Amino acid sequence: MIKQSTGKAWLLATCLWVLPMTAAWAADVGHYVLGDTRAKTPGKVEPGLLLMGGGDRNFEAMRWFMQKAGNGHIVVLRASQAGEIGEEFFNEVGGIQSVETFVFKDRDAASDKTILAALKRADGIFIAGGDQSRYVRYWRGTPVGAALDAHVRAGKPLGGTSAGLAMQGEYLYGAMDGGSQTSPRALADPLGDGNTIETDFLKIALLKGVITDTHFSERSRLGRLIAFVAKGEVMAGHPLIGLGVDEDAAVAVEGDGIARVYATAPGAGAIIVRGGFAEKQVEDEAMNLARIDTVTAGVGSVLHLPSGRVDKPLAERRYAVRDGVLVALDTPMLVIHGGAGVEPGDLTEAEEVAARAALEAALRAGHAKLKAGASSVDAVQAAIVVLEDAPQFNAGRGAVFTHDGRNELDTSLMDGASGKAGAAAGLHRVKNPITLARAIMDKSRHVMMVGDGAEAFAKTQDVALVDPKYFYTEKRWRALQKALAEERATQASNTSQVLPGKAYFGTVGALALDGKGHLAAGTSTGGMTNKRYGRVGDSPIIGAGTWADDRCAVSGTGWGEFYIRAAAAHEICARVRLSGDPLARSADRVINRDIPKAGGDGGAIALGADGSVAFPFNTGGMYRGWIGADGVPHVAIYKTDTLAMPPR
C-alpha cells in the first residue's frame, strides 16, 4: 500500500505497511516509512553502540544492532539522499517491526516536535553516512542532539556509519571547511584550520575522550587521525585516544564498554591511537612526534571503551612523524618483484617451483639484513643479488640477449633517507649490477655510468666481473633465435614487425623499510630480447623505473619507454605526497590507468614509510612477494594467485 501524506497527516501513515515515500509537511524533511510503527517491540531493548567504518553493509553487525533494539522500531537520521538505507534495514537485514528515515535539509527541522516524538519512541537510532559538517550545523545544540543523548542514557542502542560514526566521539572531525582532510595535509599542519576538530555535540560516556574516524585503512587515514588527536588534546587539555574503523569493519560496543569487531574482509578491524603525545605541536608547522603507539583490534580481539585497552590484539605498531611524514618503526618490510608479463602456461611446473623458491630466497636474504639492524639499502641490495643470480629472471644470470647476441645489463639503486642514487647501463661483465649501483652511489660523485666506463669504475671498486659467457642460459638464447626468425619473416614479407608489450618485460626489483623507518628502492634488468642500438629502458633511470624518498619507494617492471615518459616511479610517490592519495590508489592510477592509456603496460611494487604496500600490474602475472617482521615470505606469480597482504 502506498500513501502520500501532506502536513501533519503523515502520522496517519506510520501505522501502515508502505513503500518509501516523501511527504510534504511542516518541516522541510524527507520522510520514509517501512513497516508498522505501532507494532509491539518483540524483544528486550538494551544499550549498545554500533560504529561502522562506512563500507558495504555488515549484516552480521547490523543484526546485532537490531537485536539490541529488541527487533523493534528503528529511526534513521541523515542529511542527504533518501530512504535507501531504511529499505536495506527492513528488506535485507530484516527482523524488525519498522524503519523511519528522516532526511534533514536545514537546522530548523531539529526542533520539529513530530521528529522529536519519533526519536523518543525509537528502540534504536542509526545515523547514516554523508556530509558530517551538516550534522554539526543541523544538530549541535538542538533538541535533536539532546534527544540522541537522552536515547543513549535511556539504555537504547545508537549506531552510525561513516559520518554517522564520526559524529559519536567526544571530539570529532567536522569537515567544516567543505573538504575531506588527507593524512599528508593533516600532518603538515596539525593545529591548522584544515583539521576542523569540533566538540560539544554528543555526550556519550563510552566515547568520552575519544576521536573517531572511518574508511580507515582503505583511505590511509592513520596520519590524519594522529593529527586529529594532537589538535583535540590541545583543545581538551588532557590526553585523548583515536579510534579508526576500517571500511570493512564494525565495532559493536556493549553497555559495559566491552566491544567486539565484525569484519567482512580478512584483516579488517579497528585501530586505537594512544594519545598523550609528549611533544607540543606548533601552528603552521609540520608535525614531529618521536613515538606513537597503535593497537589493532580484529575479529578475535576484545576492545574496552573508553580506555582503548585491547585484549588479544590483531597487531601492535609503533610510529613516528618526521616533518609531517608518518613513519613505521620497528616494523621492517621487504617487497620484491621478478618482472611483469608472465602468463599462465609460460612456465613448466618445475620452472614455477624454481621461481617461487628464488623469490622466497631473495625475501629471506633481505629480511636477514633487516633483522640484523642493517639499512634498507643493504636489504634491497641483498635481495636483488639473489634475484640476479637466479636464471629464472631477466637480470644478471638470466638476462636476455640483444640482437647481436650479447647481454646488456642495466640497474639502479636509491636511498630514500639521503636522496642519493646510483645507476649503470650497458654492462656486459658485472656479475651483480646492483652492487655496482651501490658503489656508484656510495663511492663516486655521479649518479649514472654506462658501458665500458662503468665497468672500469667497477674494477676500481672490486665489484665482481665475469666472462660474458657467465650470463648465457639456453632458454634466453632460444628466445633470441625465435625473435630473429620472426624478424626475418617480417622482412621477407615486407611488413613491419610489431612487438608485443610482453617483449619489453623482465626486470627484478626490491623495496625495503628498515627499523628506523627509512626506505630504499632498487631495480635490475637484462633489457629486452633482440634490442638494438644500445637501447636503454626505464630500469636504470631514477624517477622512471626506480624511486625512493622519505615517504614512498617504487620499482617498476614493464614497457620501459612508457615508464620513462611518465616518470612512473616518481609520479606514484608525487601523488602520495602532493594529493594525499593512499599509496595503493596512486600506484594503481599510474600503472593501470595512465600507462595503458598511453599505450604501454606492465606493473610495479610500491612501499610506504607507514608500511603500506601495493602490487599493481595489468598483465596475466607478475613475480612478486613480501616479507615482514615475522620472517615469513609470501609470494605469488599469476594474477589469479592469492597474495595475503601485510597487516596494518
Grid cell locating 592:
593501470
Grid cell locating 597:
592509456
Q: Is residue 149 annotated as involved in ligand binding?
A: no
d(CA 279, CA 190): 12
d(CA 473, CA 469): 9
Q: Is residue 400 annotated as involved in ligand binding?
A: no
Q: Is residue 535 annotated as involved in ligand binding?
A: yes
- Residue 221's identity, in one-letter code, is R
Catalytic annotation present for 507:
yes
d(CA 561, CA 622): 19
Establish whether the linkage from the previous residue to 306 is cis, with ω within 30° of 0: yes
d(CA 276, CA 295): 15
Q: Is residue 536 annotated as involved in ligand binding?
A: yes
d(CA 391, CA 351): 10
Q: Is residue 55 annotated as involved in ligand binding?
A: no
Phi, psi of 429 (to 5 degrees): -130, -5
Q: Is residue 141 annotated as involved in ligand binding?
A: no
Q: Is residue 174 annotated as involved in ligand binding?
A: no
- Residue 166's identity, in one-letter code, is A
Q: Is residue 558 annotated as involved in ligand binding?
A: yes
Sign of CA dihedral 359, 360, 364, 365: negative
Sign of CA dihedral 340, 345, 351, 357: positive
C-beta of residue 305 within 8 angstroms of C-beta of residue 210: yes
C-beta of residue 372 within 8 angstroms of C-beta of residue 380: no
Q: Choose among 393, 329, 402: nearest CA to 355.
A: 393
For residue 604, give the H/E element and its range: strand 602-608
Task: Report helix, strand or coil for 346.
Answer: coil
d(CA 487, CA 249): 55
DSSP label at residue 69: B
Active-site entry in 37, 296, 507, 529: 507
b/e per residue 371-386 (b: at least 16 CB within 10 A)? eeebbbbbbbbbbbbb
- Annotated binding-site members for substrate: 535-538, 557-560
The catalytic residue positions are 507
- Annotated binding-site members: 535-538, 557-560
